[in-house]
């Protein structure tokens, strides 16, 4: 796994107050296997990130980018599971205590792969996810990240038992070749938004801090078999572009 790209050097720690200005941080994760020019989700998350950064003065934010498809997070191995079980037996333990629970090289390696990703998420005020629908759900590249960051107790305050992600804003930008709206024949096949909503709320992200934008019928423009859906695909994309721009412009810097 290679390093995260820090495209904008942080001059403030996330949330740190300096002369009345609050620095904010955006963690941007893409998971499409396609390159930018072909990927609708990448284009939309790029638009969000550009708008979000454009709102802020130079250097008054921390922007981190991770391409989960080009730079996959390694799948969890037995050491991740055994360390996680041990941590669970101790109740929610502070991350700083986990190294004292590590036994053997596999667990040490697993923790070394996991901790930076957890810290990256904890440091983000806003998390931006680019998510294509693959076989009715999220890409395996994103699922590998989810499995790894979901270390027992990592997002629970050991003192209060509260989620450490209560104030984190999560923006999910979805792209899908079909249409799964309520009332359509494939409504019941939708395990992309439904899954991510369940996952993030279970992690403690508040409903009001979870935002979904979706472009549907993304292949209608270049697939002759879907020609009759072209105008639907075009209007869905236009609406998604407006939605991400508006969201990036209005998401509060303060706590939602
Ligand atoms: C491996 C794979 C599986 C896919 N499975 C589905 C699917 O189950 N349902 C669907 O509506 N579209 C499916 N698609 C189409 C993609 O969701 C669509 O092309 C979307 O725009 C991909 O996101 P991207 O443009 O950001 O790469 C699939 C595409 C690929 C490559």
> Cβ(189) to ligand 1 under 6 A?
no
Ligand 1 atom closest to residue 43's alpha carbon, by position in its atom list? 26
Ligand 1 center–CA 235 separation, angstroms: 18
Asked whether the predicted pLDDT for residue 43 surpasses 50, the reply is yes
Q: In the structure encoding, which two tokens stand for residue 39, read together?
A: 């990927």
Give the mean pLDDT of 83-96.
93
Residue 100 assigned ligand-binding role: no
Q: State pLDDT tens for residues 183-196.
A: 999 999 999 999 99
Ligand 1 atom closest to residue 38's alpha carbon, by position in its atom list? 25
Give the mean pLDDT of 155-179.
95
Q: State pLDDT tens for residues 103-132.
A: 999 999 999 999 999 999 999 999 999 999
Residue 251 is predicted with a pLDDT of 87
Residue % of the chain over a pLDDT of 70: 88
Q: Beta partners for 65?
A: 5, 28
Asked whether the predicted pLDDT for residue 254 surpasses 80, the reply is no
Residue 61 is predicted with a pLDDT of 86
pTM attached to this predicted model: 0.91
* pLDDT, averaged across the chain: 90
> Cβ(43) to ligand 1 under 6 A?
no
CB count in 10 Å sphere of residue 50 = 12
Residue 235 assigned ligand-binding role: no
Residue 76 is predicted with a pLDDT of 98
Residue located via tokens 């549907």: 216
What are the C-alpha distances in Å from 170 to residues 35, 69, 77, 124, 206?
23, 19, 27, 10, 9
CB count in 10 Å sphere of residue 232 = 14
Contacts of 50 (CB under 8 A, 6+ apart): none
Element (H, E) at 101: helix 98-101
Q: Write the Ramachandran bin of 179: left for phi over 0, alpha for psi from -120 to 50, otherwise beta.
A: beta
Closest C-alpha to ligand 1, atom 31: 134
- All structural domains of the chain with their residue ranges: 5-250
Confidence of residue 59 (pLDDT cuts 50, 70, 90): low
Q: Which CATH number applies to 5-250?
A: 3.40.50.360
Residue 229 assigned ligand-binding role: no
Asked whether the predicted pLDDT for residue 4 surpasses 60, the reply is no
Closest C-alpha to ligand 1, atom 19: 177
Ligand 1 atom closest to residue 44's alpha carbon, by position in its atom list? 26
């Amino acid at each position: 796994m290679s390093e995260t790209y820090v495209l904008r050097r942080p001059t403030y720690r996330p949330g740190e107050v300096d002369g009345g200005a609050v620095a904010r941080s955006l963690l941007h994760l893409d998971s499409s296997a396609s390159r930018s020019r072909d990927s609708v989700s990448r284009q939309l998350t790029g638009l969000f990130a550009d708008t979000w950064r454009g709102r802020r003065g130079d250097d008054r934010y921390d922007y981190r980018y991770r391409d989960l498809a080009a730079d996959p997070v390694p799948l969890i191995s037995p050491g991740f599971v055994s360390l996680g079980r041990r941590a669970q037996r101790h109740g929610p333990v502070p991350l700083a205590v986990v190294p004292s629970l590590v036994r053997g090289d596999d667990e040490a390696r697993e923790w070394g792969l996991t901790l930076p990703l957890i810290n990256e998420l904890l440091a983000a005020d806003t998390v931006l996810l680019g998510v294509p629908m693959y076989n009715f759900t999220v890409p395996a590249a994103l699922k590998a990240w989810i499995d790894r960051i979901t270390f027992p107790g990592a997002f629970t305050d050991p003192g209060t038992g509260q989620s450490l992600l209560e104030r984190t804003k999560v923006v999910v930008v979805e792209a899908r070749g079909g249409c799964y709206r309520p009332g359509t024949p494939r409504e019941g096949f939708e395990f992309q938004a439904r899954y991510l909503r369940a996952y993030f709320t279970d992690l403690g992200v508040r409903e009001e801090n979870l935002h979904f934008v979706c472009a549907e019928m993304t292949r209608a423009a270049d697939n002759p078999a879907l020609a009759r859906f072209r105008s639907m695909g075009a209007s869905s994309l236009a609406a998604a572009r407006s939605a991400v721009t508006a969201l990036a412009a209005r998401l509060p810097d303060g706590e939602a």
